[in-house]
Amino acid sequence: MTDDETQGTLDCDVAVVGGGPAGSAAAITLARAGRDVVLVDKATFPRDKCCGDGLTTGALRHLEALGLRPDAVASWQTVTRTIIRSPSGRTVELPLPAGPGAGTFAVVARRAELDAALLERARAEGVKVHDGHALTGATVPAGERCVHLAVDGLGTVRARYVVAADGMWSPLRKALLGGAGETEGYLGEWHAFRQYLHHGGPEAQRGLWVWFEEDLLPGYLWSFPLPDGRLNVGYGVQRGSKHWPEPLGKRMAKLWPELLARPHIRAVLGPDAEPEAPHKAWPIPARIERTILGAAGGRALFVGDAARATDPMTGEGIGQALESGVLAADAIVAAGSLRPWLAQRRYEAAVNRTLALDNRVAGLLSTHGVAHRKGIRIAVALADTNDWTRRTFGRWLFEDEPRAGLLTPARWHRRFLRRPGAYA
Ligand SMILES: Cc1cc2nc3c(=O)[nH]c(=O)nc-3n(C[C@H](O)[C@H](O)[C@H](O)COP(=O)(O)OP(=O)(O)OC[C@H]3O[C@@H](n4cnc5c(N)ncnc54)[C@H](O)[C@@H]3O)c2cc1C
């Protein structure tokens, strides 16, 4: 393939649109398999992404396999406990394994730094990264075996395949699927709010705090510790609930100062904790099991938030973004450049065996469990039964094993919920 930027055309095997976790994971996997990969992102990195910055064990295992080194991310903060408070005020502390050889089970890392470091990894693997260049359109000309992408400042990128890792609003999904991509009026399953605070107190530094406030259900508030007394604090609620009518964003913004001032929350954050930047809000898409995963006869595959891959119970999506990126890349490599329909079929099958099943289970647990006061009370009481339940529940909650792991024998192994964490 040729690379002729001067004439405004760039050819490659695979184009990846979006340089978040999903795009970088796909690009790294493809480059390692010898594919010529061009990645474009409209943002110039490092760029912020509105997020809780929490990395689950599942996400960490993927990051390790992709070659990301913790010391490449300045704000990398390992955490070894989660503290959950039910609406009635009962708290349970869930310890994660710690100590020599235990490995890492939970980390908080600023997305601005994490995503830039992962993109740097992609560059090091040979991916041609063009950040600061937005996709503006996409076509599949009749009779041609490639997708043509219109990219600001680059011209046309021609690729055998394109991986759409362009986030919740996926412009590529809109360009290729239009209404068929269910983009009209879709606002995601969750809406979430985040603010960075500084001068957080010692309680807040102790672990990942999660509050199930009665008036936030179905939803929760979090405070995740970062180095130097900084905190990532935010809350998310499920869209469409009768407790949370639209306009959701405005309602959430109005409630925010009052939430931060609640005595039991302020007691954890500390008296001196104060915002260091304005708050941000963003939707969370969580319905991969009901989402179109490919377009253009299989030449375009959707991953991460563009595939609505987030966990419907917690709103966590970094691990799912990484996993879907790897699965799509594997499918492209296995199908080869001439059988795009096979790539799509393989990708769909892989997602159905893993992420879609996990999300179905998480969706059920969410609807019948943590969306209600009673469900949370039962979950907290069960988790708090003894040391074993506290340890095991903590690991399961933090996706040490897939949500539907127990239901999928293909993913069983002898050290289920007992193996070391990542970076052991
Ligand atoms: C408030 C909040 C808190 C959250 N907390 C957590 C958490 O603690 N842990 C967790 O695991 N998940 C969390 N999530 C979910 C998580 O942030 C997402 O699931 C994850 O970022 C998805 O990654 P991605 O690579 O698919 O998309 P993104 O990270 O959104 O990346 C998409 C990329 O596409 C680029 N792009 C968009 N349009 C174009 C275009 N036209 N041309 C080129 N590039 C384009 C963007 O610039 C962006 O870089 C949270 C989400 C929210 C909103």
DSSP secondary structure, 2-22, as one string: -EEGGGTEEEEEEEEE--SHH
pLDDT in tens, the chain (424 residues): 444 444 589 999 999 999 999 999 999 999 999 999 999 999 999 999 999 999 999 999 999 999 999 999 999 999 999 999 999 999 999 999 998 899 999 999 999 999 999 999 999 999 999 999 999 999 999 888 999 999 999 999 999 999 999 999 999 999 999 877 677 788 999 999 999 999 999 999 999 999 999 999 889 999 999 999 999 999 999 998 888 888 888 999 999 999 999 999 999 999 999 999 999 999 999 999 999 999 999 999 999 999 999 999 999 999 999 999 999 999 999 999 999 999 999 999 999 999 999 998 888 887 776 677 888 888 888 888 888 888 888 888 888 888 888 788 888 888 888 899 999 9
Residue in this structure with the two tokens 């705090």, named with its chain if needed: 209
Question: Residue of the nearest CA to atom 2 in ligand 1?
Answer: 51
Give the Cβ contact number of residue 63 at 10 Å.
29
Instruction: Report the distance separating Cα 140 and Cα 302, nearest Å.
Output: 16
Of ligand 1's listed atoms, the one at least distance from the Cα of 303 is 26
What residues contact 329, with CB distance under 8 A and at least 6 apart? 14, 25, 26, 27, 29, 30, 33, 163
What's residue 404's pLDDT?
Answer: 82
Half-sphere exposure for 28 (CA within 13 Å, toward CB): 26
Pocket test for ligand 1, best of 51, 323, 398 (most atoms within 8 A of CB): 51
Which of 42, 74, 52 has its CA nearest to residue 150? 42
What's residue 370's pLDDT?
Answer: 66
Q: Are 210 and 91 in contact (CB under 8 A)?
A: no
Angstrom distances, CA of residue 300 to CA of 13, 156, 306: 12, 16, 12
Question: Residue of the nearest CA to atom 16 in ligand 1?
Answer: 317
Q: Are 197 and 49 in contact (CB under 8 A)?
A: no
Instruction: Report the distance separating Cα 79 and Cα 107, nearest Å.
Output: 6
Pocket test for ligand 1, best of 39, 152, 172, 284 (most atoms within 8 A of CB): 284
Q: Are 68 and 59 in contact (CB under 8 A)?
A: no
Task: Indicate the SS3 state at residue 197.
Answer: strand
> How many angstroms does the Cα of residue 111 sit away from the middle of ligand 1?
9
Pocket test for ligand 1, best of 301, 316, 399 (most atoms within 8 A of CB): 316
Question: Residue of the nearest CA to atom 36 in ligand 1?
Answer: 166
Question: Residue of the nearest CA to atom 21 in ligand 1?
Answer: 318
- DSSP-derived secondary structure letter, 230: -
Cα 201 from chain centre? 28
Of ligand 1's listed atoms, the one at least distance from the Cα of 19 is 49
Q: Residues with Cβ within 6 A of ligand 1?
A: 17-23, 40-43, 49-54, 59, 134-135, 165-167, 171, 192, 194, 234, 282, 284, 304-306, 310, 315-319, 321
Question: Residue of the nearest CA to atom 15 in ligand 1?
Answer: 317
Q: What is the pTM of this model?
A: 0.96
Give the Cβ contact number of residue 75 at 10 Å.
18
> How many angstroms does the Cα of residue 307 sit away from the middle of ligand 1?
11
- How big is the chain, counted in residues? 424
> How many angstroms does the Cα of residue 305 sit away from the middle of ligand 1?
6
Instruction: Report the distance separating Cα 25 and Cα 300, nearest Å.
Output: 16
Half-sphere exposure for 101 (CA within 13 Å, toward CB): 2
- DSSP-derived secondary structure letter, 338: T
